[in-house]
């Protein structure tokens, strides 16, 4: 056996270390959004966690560009707020027809034809809306036009499609570090009971879904190595928008080794070959008006405050009042003050005020967690094998 092979094997066993800049980023982002510390200590992170049952994200529609995007909901918005002039609808029509150009041959002559990929749509808009907002349940009338719950979901998907979001991991990286992946899921979903956006496809196509629960099993290989199997539950999109959306659960299986330092903190890791891989983990932030920094490409003929007001009139008040989301306070202070008269702060942007409020999962999140744990018996082997067996 060559010395080089032994050296490469040793490096693989150690896994990829987490760059210091990544540690600083996670620490600062979590502190800014939660006003409490991000935890890297492995034994202080929950083995399972999830949102309360009332907060499980609804399965919304991706509004494919090939089907016209959100034009049906926007046509009602135009009648109610744009004097029926079709401004928002026309903007959406142009936006959904922005396609790539492909060369082709016909009759020996080169030409170009336009094609919209089938996967282009509003999956990130629906994901953001389902994370930040309780599902609309009542129809709401504005200026003589009645918006059904499904119309309101379409408007929410529209105001979020180009809105800013906080990328937690995966941006400009070939693959998320396993140690960072574990720490983000366990801190955000486990300690914070807060859903996350997941860009699930590592290919050119982009498919986003809201993650809301996870469960793990683990085996220590040494004081410095822990093998982890994690099942992550996320909401799958539906085949249309419904007044009462379904809850379509899907589970992804992850399998990785965590590297710990002498104090038990996560310092690196790597994924096994049987693990799923994803592109990105992210969290949506408060919607900005189109044209402002953070939503430069959004629909300029849709007023974000009007859409949020319609949503507030449609969603159950008791659910809205306990719905926690996070935002950078210094970026949204003015918007929050403007909303205070009609909206409890916790509905739109309140960070957790103390570590105690975010350190433990909600007591009624057990159903979501149990569902993921049940799925573990179907998705993963019942016993944890050694790393040598799994890598062969």
Model confidence pLDDT, tens digit, residues 299-313: 999 999 999 999 999
The predicted model gives 344-363 an average pLDDT of: 34
**Which residues fall within 8 angstroms of residue 251, CB to CB, at 6 or more apart?**
231, 232, 233, 234, 372, 375, 379
DSSP secondary structure letters along 71-108:
HHHHHHHHHHHSTT--HHHHHHHHHHT--EEEEEEETT
pLDDT of residue 201: 77
**Taking a C-beta distance cutoff of 8 angstroms, is the pair 291, 298 a contact?**
yes
Report the Cα 200 to chain-centroid distance in Å: 10
Report the Cα 327 to chain-centroid distance in Å: 14
The predicted model gives 170-182 an average pLDDT of: 86
User: Which pLDDT band, with edges at 50, 70 and 90, does 203 fall under?
Assistant: low
**Taking a C-beta distance cutoff of 8 angstroms, is the pair 182, 191 a contact?**
no
For tokens 């979901």, what's the residue?
153
Q: Does the structure show a pLDDT above 60 at 354?
A: no
pLDDT of residue 329: 54
Q: How far is CA 346 from CA 35, 56, 187, 217, 353, in A?
A: 14, 17, 20, 33, 11
**Out of 14-23, 38-47, 177-186, 249-258, least confident range:** 14-23
- Give the global pTM: 0.80
User: Which pLDDT band, with edges at 50, 70 and 90, does 43 fall under?
Assistant: very high
**Taking a C-beta distance cutoff of 8 angstroms, is the pair 326, 283 a contact?**
yes
pLDDT of residue 189: 98
Model confidence pLDDT, tens digit, residues 235-247: 999 988 999 999 9
Q: How far is CA 112 from CA 65, 106, 213, in A?
A: 20, 10, 46
pLDDT of residue 65: 80
* Helix, strand and coil in the chain, % to nearest 5: 40, 20, 40
Long-range Cβ contact pairs of 29-32 (< 8 A, separation 24 or more): 29/166, 29/168, 30/187, 30/188, 32/328, 32/329
Q: How many CA atoms lie within 13 A of 9 on its CB side?
A: 9
User: Which pLDDT band, with edges at 50, 70 and 90, does 206 fall under?
Assistant: confident
**Out of 4-8, 220-224, 252-256, 371-375, least confident range:** 4-8
DSSP 370: H
User: Which pLDDT band, with edges at 50, 70 and 90, does 71 fall under?
Assistant: very high
Main-chain dihedrals φ then ψ at residue 50, nearest 5 degrees: 180, 165
The predicted model gives 59-82 an average pLDDT of: 91
User: Which pLDDT band, with edges at 50, 70 and 90, does 38 fall under?
Assistant: very high
pLDDT of residue 175: 84
pLDDT of residue 347: 36
**Taking a C-beta distance cutoff of 8 angstroms, is the pair 71, 65 a contact?**
no
Q: Which residue has the higher pLDDT, 119 or 306?
A: 306
pLDDT of residue 173: 60
Task: Provide the percentage of residues in the chain whose pLDDT is more than 70.
Answer: 72
């Amino acid at each position: 056996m060559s010395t080089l092979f032994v050296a490469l094997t040793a490096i693989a066993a150690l896994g990829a270390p987490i760059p210091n800049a990544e540690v600083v980023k996670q620490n600062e982002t979590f502190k800014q959004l939660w006003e409490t510390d991000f935890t890297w200590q492995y034994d202080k992170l929950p083995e399972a966690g999830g949102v309360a049952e009332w907060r499980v994200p609804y399965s919304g529609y991706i509004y494919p560009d090939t089907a016209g995007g959100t034009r049906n909901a926007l046509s009602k918005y135009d009648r109610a707020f744009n004097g029926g002039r079709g401004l928002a609808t026309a903007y959406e029509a142009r936006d959904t027809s922005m396609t790539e150009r492909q060369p082709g041959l016909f009759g020996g002559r080169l030409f170009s034809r336009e094609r919209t990929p089938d996967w282009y749509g509003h999956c990130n808009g629906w994901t953001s809306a389902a994370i930040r907002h309780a599902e609309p349940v009542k129809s709401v009338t504005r200026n003589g036009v009645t918006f059904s719950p499904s119309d309101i979901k379409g408007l929410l998907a529209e105001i979020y499609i180009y809105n800013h979001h906080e990328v937690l991991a995966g941006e400009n990286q070939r693959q998320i570090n396993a140690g960072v992946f574990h720490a983000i899921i366990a801190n955000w979903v486990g300690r914070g009971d807060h859903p996350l956006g997941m860009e699930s496809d590592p290919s050119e196509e982009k498919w986003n879904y809201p993650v809301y629960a996870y469960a793990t099993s683990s085996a220590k290989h040494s004081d410095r190595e822990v093998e982890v199997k994690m099942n992550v539950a996320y909401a799958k999109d539906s085949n249309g928008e419904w007044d009462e959306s379904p809850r379509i659960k899907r589970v992804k299986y992850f399998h990785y080794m965590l590297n710990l330092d002498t104090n038990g903190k996560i310092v690196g890791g790597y994924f096994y070959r049987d693990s799923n891989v994803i592109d990105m983990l992210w969290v949506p932030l408060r919607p900005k008006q189109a044209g402002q920094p953070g939503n430069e490409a959004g629909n300029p003929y849709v007023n974000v405050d009007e859409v949020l007001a319609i949503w507030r009139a449609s969603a159950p008040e008791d659910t809205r009042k306990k719905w926690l989301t996070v935002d950078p306070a210094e970026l949204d202070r003015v918007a929050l003050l403007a909303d205070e008269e009609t909206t409890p702060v916790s509905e739109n942007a309140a960070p957790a005020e103390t570590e105690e409020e975010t350190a433990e999962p909600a007591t009624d999140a057990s159903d979501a967690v149990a569902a993921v744990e049940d799925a573990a018996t179907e998705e993963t082997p019942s016993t944890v094998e050694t790393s040598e067996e799994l890598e062969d």
